[in-house]
Amino acid sequence: MINKIKNKLKIKLRNYKISKISFQEYSDYKNFFIQEDKKSNWESSTFSEIIEKYLKQNKKLNLVEIGVARGETAKFTLSRLDSSISTYTGVDPYESNYDSTDIFSHFNQQLMDNLYIYVVEKINDPRFNLMRKKSNQAYLEFEDNSIDAIFIDGNHSYSAVLEDIKNWRSKIKKNGLMIGDDYLTFDGVRKAVEETFRNINQVGNTWFVKI
Ligand SMILES: C[S@@+](CC[C@H](N)C(=O)[O-])C[C@H]1O[C@@H](n2cnc3c(N)ncnc32)[C@H](O)[C@@H]1O
C-alpha cells in the first residue's frame, strides 16, 4: 500500500518536472532534443524490420506513421529501407495533454511546438511529409488502398487505438501491413487489437496483421 502511494507520487513528480521543461530560444530546445535523442532507449527499428520481412519485394512503398514524436522511427526507417520508399507520411498534432498515462503527453505546448520544428528540420527528406494533425482527421486525406504499411503509435488509449484501426484499415492495400507499438505496455492497445483481429502477429512489444 505504502509502496503504491510512493510510486504514484514519484510519477506525479516526474510528470510535473516534465511539464516545466522550457527554454527561451529554439536553439536551446534543439540542444535539449538532441540530448534526448542520444539518451533514448526507444526501439526505432521494428517498423522497418517487419516491412523488410513481409513486404520485401515491394519497391516504391507508401508508409505512414501515426505518432512521430522525435522522429526516431521515421529517420531510421527512411535510412534503412532507403530506395524502397516512395513516400513516408508522419501524422502528429504535437499537442500536449492528450493522455495522462503517456509520459510524452506531459510536455508543455511550447515544447511540442518546438519539437514539430525540430523534427521537420531533422528528417529533411523530400519523401517525408509531417502532417500536424490528429490521426482521426488525417485519414480523411488518404485514398482507400493507398498505403503499404502503417505504424500506429499515437494516442495509446483503448478508444483511440480502436478508432485508428477502424479509420485506417481501408486505406491499406491488400496484403499491406497494419503494425502498432506498445502491445504489452498499454492494456488498451491489447484490448483494441484483440477485439478487432484474429490473426495477430507479435514481435516483442509490437503487434501486426496482414490486411
Ligand atoms: C510514443 S510517441 C511516438 C513515438 C514514435 N512513433 C517513435 O517510434 O519514435 C507518441 C506520439 O503520439 C502523438 N499523438 C498523440 N495523440 C495523437 C493523435 N491523435 N494522432 C497522432 N499522433 C498523436 C504524440 O504527440 C506523440 O508524439
* Element spanning 138, H or E: helix 135-138
Q: How far is the CA of 173 from the centre of ligand 1 (A)?
A: 23
| Contact 158 CB / ligand 1 (< 6 Å) | no
Per-residue pLDDT tens digits of the chain, which is 211 residues long: 788 888 889 888 999 999 999 999 999 999 999 999 999 888 899 999 999 999 867 779 999 999 999 999 999 999 999 989 999 999 999 999 999 888 889 999 999 999 999 999 999 999 999 999 999 999 999 999 999 999 999 999 999 999 999 999 999 999 999 999 999 999 999 999 999 999 999 999 999 999 9
Domain boundaries, the chain: 2-210
CB proximity list for 157: less than 8 A, separation 6 or greater: 99, 101, 186, 188
Residue owning the nearest CA to atom 21 of ligand 1: 92
Q: What is the DSSP string of 53-78?
A: HHSTT--SEEEEEE--TTSHHHHHHH
Ligand 1 binding pocket includes 90 (Cβ within 6 Å): no
> What is the pTM for the complete model shown?
0.95
Q: State the chain's maximal CA–CA distance in angstroms.
A: 56
Residue 175: name the closest of 194, 147, 198, 139 by CA: 147
Provide the β-strand partners of residue 88. 63, 128
Distance (Å) from CA 154 to ligand 1 centroid: 3
**Strand, helix or coil for residue 182:** coil
CATH architecture observed for domain 2-210: 3-Layer(aba) Sandwich (3.40)
3-state helix/strand/coil string of 102-119: CHHHHCCHHHHHHHHHHH
pLDDT of residue 7: 86
- Cα distance between residue 117 and residue 124, in whole Å: 11
Q: Looking at residue 3, what is its pLDDT?
A: 84
CA 113 / ligand 1 centre spacing (Å): 14
> For position 56, what pLDDT does the model report?
65
Distance CA 101, CA 118 (A): 25
**What CA–CA distance (Å, rounded) separates 158 from 99?**
11
Question: Rounded CA gap, 197 and 161, in Å?
Answer: 13
